[in-house]
Amino acid sequence: MHGANRGEAENGPTAEPALEAGRRLFAQDCRFLVSAAGTAQLPETGLPEIAFAGRSNVGKSSLVNALTGRKTLARTSNTPGRTQLLNFFDLGGRLVLVDLPGYGYARASKAAIKEWTGLTRRYLKGRSTLARVCLLIDARHGLKASDREVMAELDTAAVSYQGVLTKADKVKPAALARMVEATAAELSRHVAAHPELMVTSALAGHGIAELRAALAALAAPAGES
């Protein structure tokens, strides 16, 4: 499985040079920078940033781990809301990956949820180095009201975002094809949405190489960090 253009079930294969560039970048050392609890703690690296956003328990940390090939880089949990800070990782001095707190249901106090949700929204709308937001969508459930709220805010702020279906291995092929078509069609109506919908499974590895290739195209050139 790999990317899907709007209105199409699947793309053709990503060009080999792009796949190799993605493989090489994500094979680089990926080091933890900081967990930010407030705006003052956001790091200033000067590098392009890729943020991973989505509902609680959509699989953000699992996807970051799959992309980097490191099982414990980002913390994973079956408890929604475990990621409560903005976690920054430097990838080879060329790209910064940002694991954001999930929105929606979480086992935490209303005050805590309000705090980290506010920080996340401020980051998404006001970060000059933010190159793209990967908007993660559970392939079993599709877009929800909370996703649409974030999409509308990103449209208004003119922040580029790309839909990424997760947990594709948990959906039967016919149902997955319908989900891809419906999700791509809805994304096509949003001005800031990237035209390619990615289809991934962190568990099975589907679509990981293609997503690496797409993100590597946004990285700073080697030797310029």
Per-residue confidence of the chain (225 residues) as pLDDT tens digits?
A: 445 543 333 444 578 999 999 999 999 999 999 999 888 999 999 999 999 999 988 999 899 999 999 876 765 444 444 457 899 999 999 999 999 988 865 555 565 556 657 788 889 888 999 999 999 999 999 999 989 999 999 999 999 999 999 999 999 999 999 999 999 999 999 999 999 999 999 999 999 999 999 999 999 998 754
User: Domain 4-216 falls in which CATH fold?
Assistant: Rossmann fold (3.40.50)
Q: Quick one: tokens of 112?
A: 């805590």
Backbone φ and ψ for 197, nearest 5 degrees, come out as -90, 125
* Strands lying side by side in the sheet with 86-91: 4-5, 196-199, 161-166, 130-138, 49-54, 95-99, 86-91, 30-36
Residue 109's CB: how many other CB atoms inside 10 A?
Answer: 9
- Measured between alpha carbons, how far is 188 from 6 in angstroms, rounded to an integer? 6
Q: The dihedral of CA 3, 187, 120, 125: what is its sign? A: positive
CA 133 – CA 184 distance, rounded (Å): 16
Query: What are the domain boundaries of the chain?
Result: 4-216
